[in-house]
């Protein structure tokens, strides 16, 4: 008996008023002597709906219902049987003793009814664990090479799921999968290739051979070809340039050959893969751009959308290469699909000439209200890239962004606009006041607290140093009168910065802060009192350290240190020392304003503060008893350094953790051999200078296949900074090897043998001993140190050909923070002054003023100020 198709009203009534207890009670109908096919199908549908809606079903209830469902195997109705398979798959996760249906599913899997076999395989593999897989291995191998495509595909897809859940027995089915790849059915071929890839994906050499093998043969399935293209692109992206030129050339030729394929799906996939290569230049991606240009004229909207979206991404890296498509893109501006039209315009914005910008902006404005927020964000991101390319068009783009800010839209759209305007403020001093005026107008009617706080923070940073600071004070004070407590607190902080920077406005700011002393919110009141007292003192050091400079320590670390101080009664006789708190990781200079505003908003709004990477490291190291006496973590290296090649048997990466008098080297090790276990793993380090002494090593107890482990080496530093700032360590990985079974990872013998593996050297440089210091008043700090604490040196950087390269090199070498946006060099300048601020690991501030002049190379005149004489001599002489 088969179910009749219901109309919409009947289908909706089936799933109305779903109540778990009622539905599970109805499942008793499965025990009836005569099976009501229609009723049982409806009950199974309700059960599936309950599960997929996230309804919680107790294990006992699920098991009882599952056992009741097994009675339905007596029915021969095709629809009911297939519904039963679906229900078994979902109920297997909730019930106990589900293996009771194994024999029934195995019978259906090996029976003659092809309509049952595929679904039975999927259900059986869902309930099968590693111990039972051996009993059905023979049936699975037969199903993989079955003549029926639905059966073979079901077996292949189920094999992929079994492999992903950790059943390595599937790796023995390689021969059957290879046979299935030669199937005439396109889906079977696709699924077989997918299984082969998942079996070998951890073996880079095997994956390269797999791609090379099928790249030479002609796969008939377009789906399989698309998958092979993606695998080939992934392999190419992981290759180091020039490491395997033969394989690289073969894979590139394969991708280029696919650009001539008759199937449009394969054509697009190959073009996208070639255009997305990370190291490709404009000439390399030209063929793929031509193919994408051809797809722009396709009558199918999906192809046009895919092509224009890919060109939009390519235009971010290679705008010149996409200019050949500009005519086709302009024709797509009037496309009936607004998503396609939006992507076309944003691509034109990235590739177009400066003269076309006004026309394109008008066209965008005409339909901004008709597209979704997702595409509005794409438009704003395109305008952001334009702002960097065409500074003279800032006024046009800021007008558009200002209008968009006042229009309706979600928070992500508004946040994208605010981010773009902030980037304009950071990049262009000429457009700063125009940009700030748009933001001032927006906060008058801003619905989003976090955005208002970010804008107020920016006004405090930038508005206070503008030519007309009094213009912004009115907008800020309005927020104190009209807004919620979080915004009022941010406005108080912004006002204080105006008073700290502008002496002419100080008296007015003090009066405004005095009005806030009686605010109803504790945070607002405390901030107003704090800044009021500091501004009344009128001391430059107080203004610099407590108003203009940002918090230099980690918020998470500060919270942890304060909690420890409060809970430890023995510490209360000693004042809390801020130097016991790890320093905060400083963001990139271009992101400083936006990030600081975001952190301010999360703190002011009462949100949870996210732990940074360094906070996580600090917590991990604090949990190791051997490192308890080292003190607070000063700095961790921003990224791990690879000490082995990617294709070697052992992968080792190193992270440096710097303390006041020590450096802890964290070695993250991975064993890539499945037939070996490594025990007692350590890294022996030999320093190149006497100022570094290896104190202790904490081994990794065991490294099994593909499960990383960590070993630490602690190195003591000499008290003299000149002896313990820079050196090179030779490293050797030492361990005990035990052979093991590749499948069970059980060692063959309890006794192993010692072995070692030579690693790359690790360098410790000057930048490792310095943390960036983000100061809001470099000139004030510089003047406060005076000329008595200054050292000057002059150097010739003959290898540097541009000021930009010299600035980047000096900044990265020092490991300090560029202040006053001095890392940005105006156009057509032959000289520049770079201002750097940093903190040495002894928590001593160091300021650097580097004057660079471009002639034959770059001449560098560096002035260093610090209270520590040895330290300033060290920094001044380190460049040479």
Q: What tens digit of pLDDT does each residue of 567-584 get?
A: 877 666 778 877 777 777
Based on its alpha-carbon atoms, the radius of gyration of the chain, rounded to whole angstroms, reads: 33
- Grade residue 240 by pLDDT with cuts at 50, 70 and 90: low
Question: What is the Cβ-side half-sphere exposure of residue 112, based on CA atoms within 13 angstroms?
Answer: 0
Tell whether the model's pLDDT for residue 141 goes beyond 90: no
Q: What tens digit of pLDDT does each residue of 56-71 get?
A: 888 888 888 888 888 8
Q: What tens digit of pLDDT does each residue of 499-526 get?
A: 888 888 889 999 999 999 988 899 999 9
Cα(72)–Cα(827) distance, integer angstroms? 79
Question: What is the Cβ-side half-sphere exposure of residue 303, based on CA atoms within 13 angstroms?
Answer: 17
Q: Among 148-152, 240-244, 362-366, 765-769, where is mean pLDDT lowest?
A: 240-244
Per-residue model confidence (pLDDT) at position 4: 44
- Grade residue 761 by pLDDT with cuts at 50, 70 and 90: very high
- Grade residue 3 by pLDDT with cuts at 50, 70 and 90: very low
Q: What percent of the chain has pLDDT over 70?
A: 93
Q: What tens digit of pLDDT does each residue of 790-819 get?
A: 999 998 888 888 888 889 989 988 889 898
Better-scored residue on pLDDT, 839 or 33: 839
Q: What is the mean pLDDT of residues 383-392?
A: 79
Q: What is the mean pLDDT of residues 163-182?
A: 82
Q: What is the mean pLDDT of residues 214-239?
A: 85
Q: What tens digit of pLDDT does each residue of 434-454 get?
A: 889 999 999 988 889 999 999
Per-residue model confidence (pLDDT) at position 698: 93
Place of tokens 């048997």: 649
- State the CB neighbour count (10 A cutoff) for residue 248: 17
Q: What tens digit of pLDDT does each residue of 315-339 get?
A: 888 888 888 888 888 888 888 888 8
Better-scored residue on pLDDT, 664 or 91: 664
Per-residue model confidence (pLDDT) at position 602: 37
Cα(834)–Cα(825) distance, integer angstroms? 9
Per-residue model confidence (pLDDT) at position 596: 34
Cα(341)–Cα(333) distance, integer angstroms? 5
Cα 615 from chain centroid (whole Å)? 17
Q: What is the mean pLDDT of residues 728-737?
A: 93
Per-residue model confidence (pLDDT) at position 6: 42
Q: What is the mean pLDDT of residues 530-558?
A: 83
Per-residue model confidence (pLDDT) at position 552: 73
Q: Is this prediction's pTM over 0.75?
A: no
Per-residue model confidence (pLDDT) at position 371: 78
Q: Among 123-132, 341-350, 437-446, where is mean pLDDT lowest?
A: 123-132
Task: Name residues whose C-beta falls within 8 Å of residue 253's C-beta, 6 or more positions apart in sequence.
Answer: 215
Beta strands in 645-708 (DSSP E): 650-658, 662-671, 676-687, 692-698, 700-703
Per-residue model confidence (pLDDT) at position 331: 85
- Grade residue 786 by pLDDT with cuts at 50, 70 and 90: confident
pLDDT, mean over the chain: 83
3-state secondary structure 72-84: HHHCCCHHHHHHH
Per-residue model confidence (pLDDT) at position 305: 93
In this structure, what token pair is assigned to residue 626? 């051997």
Is 289 in contact with 320 (CB distance < 8 Å)?
Answer: no
Tell whether the model's pLDDT for residue 880 goes beyond 90: no
Tell whether the model's pLDDT for residue 294 goes beyond 80: yes
């Amino acid at each position: 008996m088969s179910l009749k198709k219901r109309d919409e009203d009947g289908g909706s009534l089936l799933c109305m008023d779903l109540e778990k207890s009622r539905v599970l009670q109805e499942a008793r109908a499965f025990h009836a002597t005569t099976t009501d096919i229609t009723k049982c199908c409806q009950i199974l549908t309700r059960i599936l709906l309950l599960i997929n809606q996230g309804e919680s079903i107790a294990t006992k209830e699920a098991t009882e219902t599952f056992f009741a469902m097994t009675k339905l195997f007596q029915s021969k109705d095709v629809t009911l049987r297939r519904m039963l398979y679906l229900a078994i798959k979902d109920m297997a996760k909730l019930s106990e003793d589900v293996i009771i249906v194994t024999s029934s599913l195995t019978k259906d899997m090996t029976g003659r009814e092809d309509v049952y076999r595929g679904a039975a395989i999927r259900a059986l593999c869902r309930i099968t664990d590693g111990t039972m897989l051996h009993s059905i291995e023979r049936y699975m191998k037969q199903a993989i090479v079955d003549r029926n495509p639905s059966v073979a595909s079901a077996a292949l897809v189920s094999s992929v799921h079994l492999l992903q859940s950790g059943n390595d027995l599937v790796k023995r089915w390689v021969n059957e999968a290879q046979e299935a790849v030669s199937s005439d059915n396109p889906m079977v071929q696709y699924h077989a290739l997918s299984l082969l890839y998942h079996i070998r994906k951890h073996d880079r050499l095997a994956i390269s051979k797999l791609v090379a093998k099928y790249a030479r043969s002609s796969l008939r399935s377009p789906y399989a070809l698309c998958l092979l293209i993606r695998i080939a692109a992934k392999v190419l992206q992981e290759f180091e340039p020039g490491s395997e030129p033969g394989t690289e050339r073969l894979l590139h030729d394969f991708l280029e050959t696919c650009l001539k394929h008759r199937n449009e799906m394969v054509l697009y996939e190959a073009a996208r893969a070639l255009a997305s290569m990370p190291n490709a230049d404009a000439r390399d991606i030209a063929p793929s751009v031509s193919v994408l240009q051809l797809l722009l004229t396709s009558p199918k909207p999906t192809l046009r959308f895919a092509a224009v979206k890919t060109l939009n991404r390519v235009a971010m890296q290679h705008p010149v290469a996409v200019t050949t498509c500009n005519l086709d893109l302009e024709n797509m501006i009037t496309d009936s699909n607004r998503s396609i039209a939006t992507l076309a315009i944003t691509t034109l914005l990235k590739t177009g000439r400066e003269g076309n910008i006004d026309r394109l902006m008008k066209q965008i404005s005409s339909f901004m209200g008709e597209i979704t927020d997702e595409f509005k964000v794409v438009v704003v991101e395109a305008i952001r890239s334009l702002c960097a390319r065409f500074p003279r068009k800032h006024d046009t783009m800021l007008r558009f962004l200002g209008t968009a800010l006042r229009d309706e839209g979600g928070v992500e759209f508004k946040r994208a606009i605010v981010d773009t305007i902030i980037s304009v403020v950071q990049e262009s001093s000429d457009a700063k006041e125009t940009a700030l005026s748009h933001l001032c107008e927006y906060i008058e009617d801003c619905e989003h607290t976090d955005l208002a706080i970010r804008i107020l923070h920016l006004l405090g940073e930038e508005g206070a140093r503008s030519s007309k600071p009094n213009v912004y004070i009115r907008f800020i004070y309005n927020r104190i009168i009209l807004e919620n407590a979080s915004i009022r607190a941010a406005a108080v902080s912004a006002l204080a910065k105006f008073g700290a920077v502008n002496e002419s406005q100080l008296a007015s700011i003090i009066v405004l802060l005095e009005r806030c002393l009686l605010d109803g919110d504790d945070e607002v009141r405390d901030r107003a009192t704090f800044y009021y007292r500091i501004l009344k003192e009128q001391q430059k050091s107080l203004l610099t350290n407590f108003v203009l400079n940002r918090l230099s320590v980690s918020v998470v670390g500060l919270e942890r240190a304060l909690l420890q101080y409060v809970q430890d009664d023995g510490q209360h006789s000693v004042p809390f020392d801020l130097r016991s708190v790890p320093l905060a990781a400083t963001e990139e200079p271009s992101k400083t304003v936006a990030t600081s505003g975001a952190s301010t908003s999360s703190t002011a709004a009462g949100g949870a503060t996210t732990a940074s990477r360094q906070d996580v490291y600090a917590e991990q190291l604090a949990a190791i008893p051997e490192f308890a006496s080292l003190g607070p973590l000063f700095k961790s290296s921003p990224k791990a350094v690879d000490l082995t090649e990617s294709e070697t048997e052992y992968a080792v990466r190193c992270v440096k953790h710097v303390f006041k008098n020590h450096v802890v080297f964290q070695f993250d090790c991975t064993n890539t051999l499945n037939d070996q276990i490594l025990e007692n793993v350590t890294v022996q380090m030999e320093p190149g200078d006497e100022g570094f002494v290896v104190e202790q090593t904490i081994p990794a107890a065991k490294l099994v296949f593909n499960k990383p482990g960590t070993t630490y080496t602690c190195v003591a530093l000499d008290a003299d900074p000149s002896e313990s700032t820079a050196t090179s360590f030779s490293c050797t990985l030492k361990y005990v090897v035990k052979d093991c079974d590749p499948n069970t990872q059980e060692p063959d013998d309890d006794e192993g043998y010692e072995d070692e593996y030579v690693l790359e050297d690790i360098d410790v440089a000057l930048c490792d001993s310095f943390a960036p210091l983000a100061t809001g008043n470099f000139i004030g700090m510089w003047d406060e140190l005076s000329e008595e604490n200054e050292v000057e040196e002059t150097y010739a950087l003959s290898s540097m050909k541009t000021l930009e390269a010299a600035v980047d090199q000096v900044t990265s070498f020092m490991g300090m923070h560029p202040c006053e946006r001095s890392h940005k060099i105006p156009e057509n300048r032959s000289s520049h002054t770079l201002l750097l601020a940093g903190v040495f690991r002894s928590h001593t501030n160091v300021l650097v003023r580097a004057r660079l002049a471009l002639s034959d190379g770059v001449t560098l005149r560096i002035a260093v100020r610090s209270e520590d004489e040895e330290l300033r001599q060290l920094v001044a002489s380190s460049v040479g």
